[in-house]
Amino acid sequence: MPHLKPKTLYITLSALMVGLVALVYGVLLLHELSRSDALMLQQAGAAAKRIGREAAATVENELRPARVSVAQLVSGALGSAASEPARLTALPQLAAALRSNAAVSAVYVGTARGSFLLLRRMGDAPSRSRMGAPADAAYALQSVDRDAGAPRGSYRFFDAGLHELQRLDRPDYVFDPRTRPWYELARRAGDGVAVQSEPYLFFTTGEPGVTLAEARGDVVVGADVSLQALGEMLARPQISRSAELLIATAGGEMLAQARREPAPPPVAGGRGLPKLDEAATPLMRTLWARRDAQGRLDPVQQVGQREWVAHALPLADGQATGAALTLLMAAPRDELQAFQIESRRHGFYISLGLMLALLPLVHLLADRVSRPLRELARQAEAIRHFEFGGPDPKRSLIREVDRLALAMT
C-alpha cells in the first residue's frame, strides 16, 4: 500500500474552503447555462411568432383597402360601362383608388369583348421615361378599345388634377385582358366574389405583389397591390445584428427578405418571383434545405463555423396572399446570448475576486483552527520524551480539540 504524505490541517482546511467556493460557483454556472439556453430558445421562438404576426398584419393592411376599392369600383359606374367613353367617366374614381392606397400601383378594368383600361401612377422619372410621358405627368392611362371590332390602343397622360397632357395612339398595344389569370379567376368565381392571384413580380416595377379582381356582368375590375412593405418590415431591426429573415412560398419562391449583404435589385419585366435557391444567402439556402417533411427545423443549427438559432414558421394568414407562405429566421447563437455570456464572464470575475479576497480570511481561520492542534502535538511530543514541565495546553473553541487539551492536562 503506497504511503501518503500527510498534509497539515492548515493546508487541508484552506483547500477545503476554496474548493467549496469553487464547487458552489460551478453548480450555479451549470444551472445558469441550462436556464440561459432554455430562455434563449424561448425568446427566439417568441420573436419568430411576433414577426410572423407582423408579416400577416402587414399583408392584410396592404390588401384590405385595395379590396374595398375594387368592390366600390366594380359596383359603381365602371361596372356597368359598355363603352370606352363610359369607362373614361370613371377616371376620377380610379385616381381616387390610387391616391387612397399607396400600395396599389395600378387599377384597371377588362370587358368580355376584350377592351381594357388601366390607370397607373407615375411616381418617378424612370416610370415616366419608360412610357414616354411628359415630365409633369402624374398618371398614365393605357387603353385598348375592342368594342367596335379591331383593337385600338392608346396612351394618355394626366397631371395631378386629371387634366390631359398628351395622347399617343399605340396601334402596337393590343393587350387582351381575357388572357390574363386575374380575369379568368374572377370569371370562374362569379359576380361579386373577390379573387386574388398568387404573388409575382410586377412587369413594370419589378416589385413583388398580387392582383385583386372582382367580376360583375361583362366587366372585371382589378388592382395591382405591391407587397414591398413586407421587405421593409423584415429589414427593420428585429432580433440581432446578423440575423437573417425571409418569407417564401411553399415552392421556394422568395417574396421578401432581410439579409446582411445587399440583395440584387429586382428585375423589371420579370414575371416569377426569384427562386430561393438562387437569390437567398448560402445560410438561408442551407436552412431551407434542412427542413423536414412538415417544414419544421431544429431550433439550433450548425452552419459553417457558427451555431445559429433558426425557425421555419408557416404564416397563419398566408392564404391572404393567394399562396402558403413560410417565415424563415436565423440568428447567431452568440449574439442572442451575448448578454448571458457577458453576465457569466462578470460572474466568473466576481467569484475569482471573492476567492482571492477570502484567501487572507481563510488563512486566518485555518491558522486559528489548527494552532491548538499544533500545540497539542508539541505537548504530546514532550510527553513522549517524559518532559512534563511545559505549560498546559490552551483551551479551544472546538469541542473535540478542547476535550483533548483537558485530557492532557
Written as tens digits, the pLDDT of the chain (409 aa) is: 455 455 566 677 677 777 777 777 777 777 766 776 777 777 777 777 788 788 878 888 888 888 999 999 999 888 888 888 999 999 999 999 999 888 898 999 999 999 999 999 887 888 888 888 898 899 999 999 998 778 899 999 999 999 999 999 999 988 899 998 899 999 999 998 989 888 888 766 678 888 999 999 889 999 998 888 888 878 776 677 888 888 888 888 888 888 655 555 554 444 578 888 888 889 999 999 999 888 888 888 888 888 888 888 887 554 455 567 888 888 888 887 777 667 767 777 777 777 777 777 777 777 776 666 666 666 666 666 555 555 655 655 566 666 666 665 6
Nearest-CA neighbor of 71 among 226, 189, 191?
A: 191
Residue bearing cell 493546508? 11
CA 274 – CA 277 distance, rounded (Å): 9
Sign of the C-alpha dihedral, residues 121, 123, 128, 131? Answer: negative
Nearest-CA neighbor of 231 among 263, 204, 203?
A: 263
Number of alpha carbons in the 13 Å side-chain half-sphere of residue 342 = 5
Residue 98: the pLDDT is 92
What residues does 107 pair with on adjacent strands? 119, 223
Residue 144: the pLDDT is 92
Angle among Cα 265, 67, 122 to the nearest 5 degrees reads: 45
Residue 6: the pLDDT is 57
223 C-beta neighbours (distance < 10 Å), count? 28
CA 312 – CA 276 distance, rounded (Å): 14
β 116-121/306-314 pair status: unpaired
The 3-state DSSP class for residue 231 equals: helix
User: Residue 193's Cα: distance from chain center in Å?
Assistant: 33
